[in-house]
Amino acid sequence: MTGYGSNNTIRMDNDSDYLVVQIIRGFKETANGYQQFLLDNKAILIQVFDDSHSNNYRTLKTILADFERIYEAWNESDVSKENMKWALYTFASEVFISKTPQKEETPRNQNDMSFFSEKKEEQYPNKGKNKSSFESLGKWIGSGIWDKDKFVNELKEKYIETIETPLERFLYSFFWGLQQRDIDEGLPAAVNLAYEGELNSDEYIYLMQKVHYLRSSSIDLPCEIDYVKMESGFKHRMKGIRDGIITEPQRRTFSEKQQLDPEAYQLYGLIEKLDDKIDAWKNRTRFIAYLQGDSTISRHSIKGLYLEEFDEELLSIFEECYAAADNSDKRDYASLLLSMTYDFDTYSSKDNIVATRNSFKNLGSMQIRVGRQVSS
């Protein structure tokens, strides 16, 4: 069977090739599609195992298990999967190199990446092909510390062909790769978008981190930074997400407090809670659809849901549907309303709870007998 690359022939008829394939077939994936990816690229795994001159199948199993993290992070990114197979070869070769005893050499610190010697590079002819060598993965092999965010950022820098504007370069480039123009033009543009609620959660975090790094490095900022305005913009965005006007992508970025200015902590706290809020808003949408007669939503699936709050808009919809219902449906609506949770602190702030309490009080104007008590 002819393999990949020039003048390479993949042998599928010897014992080691057979065992490599059997190890792949026996692999228990946790990331959907990973085992099929390995099978599709078994020739690459056979080649790198042959290139290693190793009979260490335990190391091969470790490589497959570790690369699953890379596969999953890559799939979650917006980067083409075209070069993932070469990253598999390069990562496997780097692991095999790290496991090879260094003859007549002084032992090195694990974090010293110089064990990827030129001699070993020649042994693995496809190592680094198509820019498939990643600093973040080399550090993982050396130190055992997996940094998903750093890998994804490096992945985007390598394979997303063009970052067109100073704004995009400012938000998405590594900090030390920024040019002065990116700061002078990109930062004000990002700040203005943040004030308007036009950045997604990841972009807000990138912006806050970059501002902190600039200040920590004593680099002059080309504009004022007002975190109160940013918070107002993000709250405006949250309302758009709740109302279905804005579709928020899944957040992939997290931050330590030491990576942010203290004034940014409150905004970051809102961003951290957004995923949970979105779940509660989806419940709100389902409840409204049920009240308005959506036959695809069962009563059982609605009962006991948690909501962020029983807000004025939801109160108005409930009153309208309640007034038009027969006595049986009225009892059903009231029972469902009472079954729901409105004061779970993951989803509801003190202001949300106050709003819910006021809405329940206002139900008395219709003489709806619901005695729901919401804790403060």
Q: Residues 142-184: pLDDT tens digits?
A: 999 999 999 999 998 888 765 568 998 899 888 888 889 999 9
352/375 Cα distance (integer angstroms): 11
Does residue 361 register a pLDDT over 70? yes
Same domain? For 154 and 128 the reply is yes
Question: Which of 274, 306, 333 corresponds to the end of one domain?
Answer: 274
216 and 200 share one domain: yes
Give the residue from 321, 308, 322, 329 showing the smallest Cα distance to 374. 308
Share of the chain above pLDDT 90, in %: 50
Tell which residue, 53, 52, 51, 57, has the closest CA to residue 24: 57
Q: Are residues 19 and 99 in the same domain?
A: yes
Asked whether residue 279 is domain-assigned, the answer is no
State how far the Cα of 64 lies from the Cα of 2, in Å rounded to an integer: 23
Confidence of residue 105 (pLDDT cuts 50, 70, 90): very low
pLDDT of residue 11: 40
Residue 20 belongs to a domain: yes
Q: Which of 274, 289, 321 is the endpoint of a domain?
A: 274
pLDDT confidence bin for 102, thresholds 50/70/90: low
Burial call 182-218: b when 16+ CB within 10 Å, e when fewer: bbebbbbbbbebbbebebbbbbbbbbbbbbbebeeee
Average pLDDT, the chain: 85
CB-based contacts of 368-376 (< 8 A; 24+ apart in sequence): 368/322, 368/330, 368/334, 369/334, 370/334, 370/337, 370/338, 371/338, 372/337, 372/338, 372/342, 374/342, 374/343, 375/343, 376/350
| Percentage of the residues of the chain whose pLDDT score is greater than 70 | 86
The residues facing 9 across adjacent strands are 2
For residues 317 and 228, membership in a common domain is answered with: no
Residue 249 lies in a domain: yes
Residue 104 predicted with pLDDT over 50 = no
20 and 111 in a single domain? The answer is yes
Query: Of 225, 231, 221, 156, whose CA–CA distance to 185 is shortest?
Result: 221
Same domain, 172 and 117: no
More confident residue, 254 or 114: 254
Of 363 and 148, more confident: 148
Tokens for 194? 């943040």
Q: Looking at 8-22, 70-84, 138-152, which range is the least confident one?
A: 8-22
Q: How many domains does the chain have?
A: 3
Average pLDDT over residues 31-35: 93
Same-domain pairing of 43 and 155? yes
Residue 63 lies in a domain: yes
Residues 45 and 154 both lie in one domain: yes
Pick the range with the lowest mean pLDDT from 30-39, 137-146, 174-183. 174-183
Range of the domain at 256: 166-274
Predicted confidence band of residue 35 (pLDDT cuts 50, 70, 90)? very high
User: Residue 14 — pLDDT band, cuts 50, 70, 90?
Assistant: low
How many Å apart are CA 45 and CA 337, to the nearest integer? 57
Please tell me the predicted confidence (pLDDT) of residue 365: 59
- Tell me: do 24 and 141 sit in the same domain: yes
Measured from the Cβ of residue 161, the count of other Cβ atoms closer than 10 Å reads 6
Q: What confidence score (pLDDT) does residue 159 get?
A: 85
CB 205 within 8 A of CB 249: no
Indicate whether 237 and 126 sit together in one domain. Answer: no
The predicted pLDDT at position 158 comes to 87
Whether 4 shows a pLDDT value over 50: the answer reads no
Task: Note the maximum CA span of the chain.
Answer: 89
Q: Is residue 211 part of a domain?
A: yes
Whether residue 327 is contained in a domain is answered as yes
Residue type, 102: Q
Highest averaged pLDDT of the listed ranges 8-17, 124-133, 260-269: 260-269
Instruction: Grade residue 366 by pLDDT with cuts at 50, 70 and 90.
Output: low
- The larger pLDDT score, comparing residue 266 to residue 244, is at 266
Q: Is 286 among the domain residues?
A: no
* Long-range CB pairs of 311-316, under 8 A, 24+ apart, other chains included: 311/355, 311/356, 311/359, 312/355, 312/359, 314/284, 314/287, 314/288, 314/359, 315/359, 315/362, 315/363
Same domain as 147, residue 57: yes
Q: Are residues 193 and 133 in the same domain?
A: no
Confidence of residue 265 (pLDDT cuts 50, 70, 90): very high
Q: What is the pLDDT of residue 133?
A: 93
Higher pLDDT, 21 or 122: 21
User: Which of residues 159, 179, 199 is at a domain's end?
Assistant: 159
In a domain, 32, yes or no: yes
